Structure formats: structure tokens, C-alpha cells
């Protein structure tokens, strides 16, 4: 399982901090620049959150950019299965986090990149791992350039 080969998902916070070039999370902007080296799944929940954070023309522009890598960036509008969302919610997470987890579990996504260190930490056996943007970049660099 490597970040360069498997489908991953970027949490909304990665995309927002990256677009803002937030100085507290410089790895988010760096990771966003390298989207073309990854296989990124963007589910409905994340799309709709982005639409709330951005103006309509900003969101359209962002998705036009993502569409430059159609073989590497997969955007889907499907709802997650309600039963799966409910299962995650009953395991102790909030409805929104449960929706994200259900999308990833359904699609077999191996890794979620998020700056929320507490994301789903209450769930003992998540079907995917959670990495920060800095850890993801480090892993990507090791794959691309060796131990550098």
C-alpha cells in the first residue's frame, strides 16, 4: 500500500488550507500542487463542503483544474449508503465524519489525508488510515526520490 499507487482522499481541510496557502499547514499547498502524482477520490460530502467554503466561480474553477487529471482524480456525486453512515455514526462519530468514512469505505480508499488529528480516532478499526499532509508528502517523497 503506497500513497502513489492507491486511491486516497483529501479531507476538506487539506483543500481549504492548501488554497489559502495557510502558513500553519504549508504541506497542504504542497500536496495540492502534486495532485497529478496521486490518485484522488473526491466524494459528494467533500464536494458539497467545498461548495460551501468557496464562491460558485471559485468552486467551478477548482473542479475545472481537477478535470485536467481525469485519470487520477475521481469525483462522484453519489450519496453513501445510509446504513453504512449510520453504522459509523453508531460507532461514536458525528454524522458528517460518518458520511466521509462511509464514502471511503464503500470505494475501498486506503488513505485519508487530514489535518484533523482527532478524525474518527474514536473508531477502533477504521478501514483506511489517516495521515497528515506532511506525513503524506514525506511518504510520497520517499517513493519518488528514495530516502531524501
Partner 1 sequence: METIDTRVDQIAEEIASWESAQQESLLQRLAELNYRRGLKSLSEKIQRRLEIEGKLHQSVEEMFAEMARIRESVAADDYRR
Q: Which residues contact 58 (CB under 8 A, 6 or more apart)?
A: none
First-to-last CA distance in the chain? 20
Q: Which of 62, 75, 134, 135 binds partner 1 (CB under 8 A)?
A: 62
Beta-bridge partner residues of 9: 112
Least separation in angstroms between residue 61's CB and partner 1 is: 5
The binding track of 114-143 with respect to partner 1, each residue x by CB under 8 A or -, is: --x---------------------------
**Closest-CA residue to 3 (of 62, 72, 70, 88):** 72
Residue indicated by cell numbers 453512515:
85
Interface with partner 1 (CB under 8 A), residue total 41
Contact range with partner 1 by CB under 8 A, out of 1-9, 21-29, 122-130, 134-142: 21-29
Q: Which of 30, 54, 75, 131 binds partner 1 (CB under 8 A)?
A: 54
Give the side-chain half-sphere CA count within 13 A for 46.
25
**Residues 63 to 122: which contact partner 1 by CB under 8 A?**
64-65, 68-69, 79, 82, 85, 94-100, 116
Amino acid at each position: 500500500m503506497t500513497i502513489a499507487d492507491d486511491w486516497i482522499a483529501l479531507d476538506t481541510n487539506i483543500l481549504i488550507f492548501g488554497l489559502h496557502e495557510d502558513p500553519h499547514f504549508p504541506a497542504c499547498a504542497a500536496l495540492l500542487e502534486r495532485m497529478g502524482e496521486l490518485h484522488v477520490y473526491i466524494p459528494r460530502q467533500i464536494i458539497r463542503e467545498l461548495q460551501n467554503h468557496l464562491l460558485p466561480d471559485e468552486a467551478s474553477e477548482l473542479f475545472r483544474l481537477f478535470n485536467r487529471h481525469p485519470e487520477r482524480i475521481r469525483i462522484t456525486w453519489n450519496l453513501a449508503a445510509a446504513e453504512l453512515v449510520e453504522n459509523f455514526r453508531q460507532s461514536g462519530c458525528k454524522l458528517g465524519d460518518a458520511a466521509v468514512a462511509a464514502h471511503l469505505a464503500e470505494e475501498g480508499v486506503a488513505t485519508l489525508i487530514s489535518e484533523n488529528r482527532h478524525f474518527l480516532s474514536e473508531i477502533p478499526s477504521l478501514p483506511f488510515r489517516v495521515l497528515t499532509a506532511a506525513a503524506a508528502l514525506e511518504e510520497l517523497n520517499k517513493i519518488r526520490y528514495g530516502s531524501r
